[in-house]
A and B are shown apart, each in its own frame.
Chain A
């Protein structure tokens, strides 16, 4: 539809109000009454109208329904086609001797090398049709090939016959080497590597199980039960694998019955032997996997840890008493050491105070002795020796308290007050009878 220019907005009053309100529709009038007329019941749009009216759909509902209807169905492509091989996977097959068709990869011949044992009969038929279209001798000859070059076509036909027959197909599947997945040659270094390497092995082996689906390896999240049931299953695998396919051809020569029987017997024995070998192979395989399975190791370790934990719990009572005794002994030793330390400190303190007292005494004595000299012997320098003798006498007579007292008094005393102090002290000592006589301080 053509895009037409649009009028500029004229801001009349009502419009301005509407803009403010953001409510921007105003109805002005009703439209002219309609007239009822029959419409012509023809054409696609009438049918649409009729459907809408009869089903009571609103316009948009109808549009929705129609839209869902009008989906263009793109031609359905056969999903199987993608699963088939685009080309023959093994070019050698084309020149393979058709007489030796049993040794061919029959799945590859039909282009089913991706599907193999999983191919349904339907898919086999389809793949065969496709292969025939491509490799029919007529087609080859029309492209200029020799009509005798139909070896691969014969193989295709044989493959088709074999794979459509369920019994023969099992026989072929039993010995289909291409479907086998070899276990890793060495022990896997990491857990992830183990799962990556072994899972396909078991997927491949699963095809032989009579019980389907067979349990698969799983991963590190698998529970113990899963892992255990997995190994249990695989250790007791019920396998349909058989080895008839590898039989030596039995001659249908009726003349030599003995030879025929001999061959049959030989075949039977070889089948049995191969089956035994295969059982052994599988059991070894499973054992190896089990031995290398990191989960089994983990489960064992977990079990050990669990045991240890349980034992620990069991022994919990005796361990508690022991702990208590030990704590008691420790507390005692601690208390003893503390007491010793305290006594020692006290002793030292005493010693210190004694020394301090001694020092104070010495200091006081010195002060007292010094007092006469400091005060120029109170003016009686001639009597120096007398004064000193008196002072010595007094000092001798003073006890510690008195000594400190006198020293304290003398410390800042003047000459006369100092003399008086000595005199007072002398008198006091005389009176107490501590000094017999004093020559100067009388």
Chain B
């Protein structure tokens, strides 16, 4: 019996399992690790994944793509833009359905068939039946959508033990991989997918994650970049052959498929070829494009991504200065330009986790399913009742402190013990060296302030006559300074040079217990919540 984690996306689905403590992202029988979420019905045969996607050119009307977001949504509310060159969604009992070769299929049936394919691939790979699974969903999935998905999965023979949010899954995978789960940091998890982008500000505190804000866009993603490339190639084709590459659906699909491949290739190399036989009017198209050209072509999309993230941070009531780390997720995050443009938004101290910056990182497209697999194996030992109980509001809804709590160090600076947005009950301790025999510890709430440092531009000594005076650069940094004094503690007889432990503990009722300890000298105090 095995557990798997599934990241079910609009454009691709991937799944992973944990084997001997190692996360294994499973490939389907075709060798795909990012299985295209596509189904195609041609001549009574079902095609899945890349094979189905290939049918888009010849059998667009019997090929279903980008359907995940249609689960549990009334037909009237859907955006069918991304199904333009594939099977069109039709109304089916008020919900979404597809008419394939004259048969009407509900969205539930399509998803079921897709998940069944996934399940079979997983069981083939593992050689054993799947006991339970964890599936990731976007943070804006409604309860109805979630219920629908669980039901459909059950019909497909998959027992869903938990649905988890995509950003948390990705972050869990990332932090577990880096063993940084216990480092308190403020993350932006940016998931740039095929046809949509999602991002979230996540506070990681004591291994527990809290979403502070989320942002979604269904008009941003890899498809937009494909579109830019298609337009670019079409213009080029027009110029070369005086023919319209987008004239027919077929030619459009051909060019689209080629553009996608070219885009993916450019993530790894500087120059990529594009080649489409008989694109339009019998003309073959052959061209090459370098990364810089691509970045220029997709400039608009990249800047939209930046805006998207900036608006998210704003939504969280923060500045980009507050963000300590950015994790890039999703296939589109493979593009180096995405990481590079985002790096410009955040201060230099912010770490950006993207394959373009650290090639050792796992593929950003895998993060969601990795996280799901981790979660699936974590809860494998619990029964359904226990899992249900732990998802109750009484457990999940937790008080979070709003200002950091810390102490004043030797230079009068604020040293954080519990950062803001830490969920309690919590217990945390830090250690110091006593500088004298008697030590006074002052507990403060930290107050956010912006530190501005002016960096003089480097003086160029060469003869270039650059008349323009370079403006001095101002580096802004968020720092916390001691704010409200919460309490003072005197440790008498701490002995100079010895270790002093400072423990801050907040219990369920919000009562804060402060402890200072040096050897046998222990002082305790209590501070209440306003």
Q: Report the nearest B residue to A8, measured CB to CB.
A: B436
**Given known A8-B436, A33-B530, A35-B402, contact A45–B206 (CB-CB < 8 A):** yes
**Given known A29-B484, A54-B389, contact A40–B209 (CB-CB < 8 A):** yes
Cβ–Cβ contact A42 & B375, under 8 A: yes
**Given known A36-B400, A59-B505, contact A19–B492 (CB-CB < 8 A):** yes
- Size category of the A interface is 35 or more
Q: B17-25, B220-228, B391-399: which lies at the A interface?
A: B391-399
Q: How far is the CA of A1 from the CA of B184 in the complex (A)?
A: 14
Q: How far is the CA of A26 from the CA of B484 in the complex (A)?
A: 14
Q: How far is the CA of A28 from the CA of B488 in the complex (A)?
A: 7
- Collect the chain B residues with CB atoms within 8 Å of residue A45's CB: 181-182, 206-208
A44 within 8 A of B: yes
Cβ–Cβ contact A10 & B181, under 8 A: no
- Collect the chain A residues with CB atoms within 8 Å of residue B424's CB: 34
Q: How far is the CA of A37 from the CA of B390 in the complex (A)?
A: 15
- Collect the chain A residues with CB atoms within 8 Å of residue B378's CB: 43-44, 47
Q: How far is the CB of A105 from chain B (nearest CB, A)?
A: 47
Q: How far is the CA of A195 from the CA of B438 in the complex (A)?
A: 67
Q: How far is the CB of B76 from chain A (nearest CB, A)?
A: 30
**Given known A4-B415, A32-B401, A43-B378, contact A37–B210 (CB-CB < 8 A):** yes
Contact with A along B473-498 (1 / 0, CB 8 A): 00000000000111111111000000
- Size category of the B interface is 35 or more
A9 within 8 A of B: yes
Cβ–Cβ contact B433 & A4, under 8 A: yes
A41 within 8 A of B: yes
Q: Report the nearest B residue to A59, measured CB to CB.
A: B427
- Collect the chain B residues with CB atoms within 8 Å of residue A6's CB: 409-410, 432-436, 439, 500
**Given known A4-B433, A15-B490, A59-B427, contact A31–B415 (CB-CB < 8 A):** no
Q: How far is the CB of A59 from chain B (nearest CB, A)?
A: 5
* Partner pick for B400 among A25, A29, A34, A47, CB 8 A cutoff: A34
Cβ–Cβ contact A3 & B379, under 8 A: no
Q: How far is the CB of B267 from chain A (nearest CB, A)?
A: 28
- Collect the chain B residues with CB atoms within 8 Å of residue A47's CB: 378-379, 390
Q: Report the nearest B residue to A46, measured CB to CB.
A: B208
Cβ–Cβ contact A5 & B410, under 8 A: yes
Q: How far is the CA of A6 from the CA of B500 in the complex (A)?
A: 9
Cβ–Cβ contact B484 & A31, under 8 A: yes
Contact with A along B512-530 (1 / 0, CB 8 A): 1010000000011111111
Q: B143-151, B163-171, B321-329: which lies at the A interface?
A: B163-171
- Collect the chain B residues with CB atoms within 8 Å of residue A144's CB: none
**Given known A25-B489, A25-B525, contact A36–B439 (CB-CB < 8 A):** no
Cβ–Cβ contact A30 & B492, under 8 A: no
Contact with B along A141-175 (1 / 0, CB 8 A): 00000000000000000000000000000000000
Cβ–Cβ contact A5 & B398, under 8 A: no
Cβ–Cβ contact A31 & B512, under 8 A: yes
Cβ–Cβ contact A38 & B390, under 8 A: no
A133 within 8 A of B: no
Restricting to B386-430, which residues have a CB under 8 Å from any CB of A?
389-391, 393-403, 405, 408-410, 412, 415, 421, 423-427, 430
Q: How far is the CA of A13 from the CA of B390 in the complex (A)?
A: 50
* Partner pick for B435 among A1, A8, A48, A59, CB 8 A cutoff: A8
B499 within 8 A of A: yes
Cβ–Cβ contact B527 & A1, under 8 A: no
A417 within 8 A of B: no
- Collect the chain A residues with CB atoms within 8 Å of residue B375's CB: 42-43
* Partner pick for B430 among A1, A34, A39, A41, CB 8 A cutoff: A1
B304 within 8 A of A: no
B87 within 8 A of A: no
- Collect the chain A residues with CB atoms within 8 Å of residue B162's CB: 41
A50 within 8 A of B: yes
- Collect the chain A residues with CB atoms within 8 Å of residue B427's CB: 59-60
Q: How far is the CA of A8 from the CA of B175 in the complex (A)?
A: 38
Q: How far is the CA of A36 from the CA of B391 in the complex (A)?
A: 15
Q: How far is the CA of A58 from the CA of B401 in the complex (A)?
A: 19
- Collect the chain B residues with CB atoms within 8 Å of residue A54's CB: 389-390, 395
- Collect the chain B residues with CB atoms within 8 Å of residue A343's CB: none
Q: How far is the CA of A8 from the CA of B410 in the complex (A)?
A: 8
A52 within 8 A of B: yes
Cβ–Cβ contact B390 & A40, under 8 A: no
Cβ–Cβ contact B529 & A33, under 8 A: yes
Restricting to A279-335, which residues have a CB under 8 Å from any CB of B?
none
Cβ–Cβ contact B423 & A39, under 8 A: yes
**Given known A4-B410, A44-B181, contact A38–B397 (CB-CB < 8 A):** yes
Contact with A along B168-189 (1 / 0, CB 8 A): 1100100110000110000000
- Collect the chain A residues with CB atoms within 8 Å of residue B526's CB: 27
B281 within 8 A of A: no
Contact with B along A48-66 (1 / 0, CB 8 A): 1111111000111000000
Q: Report the nearest A residue to B433, measured CB to CB.
A: A3
A14 within 8 A of B: yes
Q: How far is the CA of A53 from the CA of B423 in the complex (A)?
A: 13
* Partner pick for A59 among B176, B433, B437, B507, CB 8 A cutoff: B507
A349 within 8 A of B: no
**Given known A24-B492, A28-B488, contact A7–B410 (CB-CB < 8 A):** yes
B202 within 8 A of A: yes
Q: Report the nearest A residue to B431, measured CB to CB.
A: A1
Cβ–Cβ contact B399 & A35, under 8 A: yes
**Given known A34-B510, A35-B400, contact A27–B209 (CB-CB < 8 A):** no
> By CB atoms of chain B within 10 A, which of A49, A52, A58 has the most?
A49
Q: How far is the CA of A42 from the CA of B403 in the complex (A)?
A: 24
Q: How far is the CB of A39 from chain B (nearest CB, A)?
A: 5
Cβ–Cβ contact B398 & A36, under 8 A: yes
Q: How far is the CA of A50 from the CA of B208 in the complex (A)?
A: 11
A22 within 8 A of B: yes
A276 within 8 A of B: no
Cβ–Cβ contact B432 & A4, under 8 A: yes
- Collect the chain A residues with CB atoms within 8 Å of residue B500's CB: 6
Q: Report the nearest B residue to A10, measured CB to CB.
A: B440
Cβ–Cβ contact B433 & A15, under 8 A: no
A/B interface sample: 29 pairs, CB < 8 A = A3-B431, A5-B409, A5-B432, A6-B433, A7-B410, A8-B435, A9-B440, A14-B488, A19-B438, A19-B492, A25-B489, A27-B528, A31-B401, A31-B512, A31-B527, A31-B528, A31-B529, A37-B212, A37-B397, A37-B423, A38-B397, A41-B390, A41-B395, A41-B396, A42-B375, A43-B168, A46-B207, A54-B389, A60-B427
Interface residues of B (CB under 8 A from A): 162, 164-165, 168-169, 172, 175-176, 181-182, 202, 206-212, 371, 374-375, 378-379, 389-391, 393-403, 405, 408-410, 412, 415, 421, 423-427, 430-440, 445, 484-492, 499-500, 505, 507-508, 510, 512, 514, 523-530
The 8 closest A-B pairs by CB, nearest first: A45-B207, A25-B525, A50-B390, A24-B490, A40-B168, A34-B399, A9-B438, A40-B209
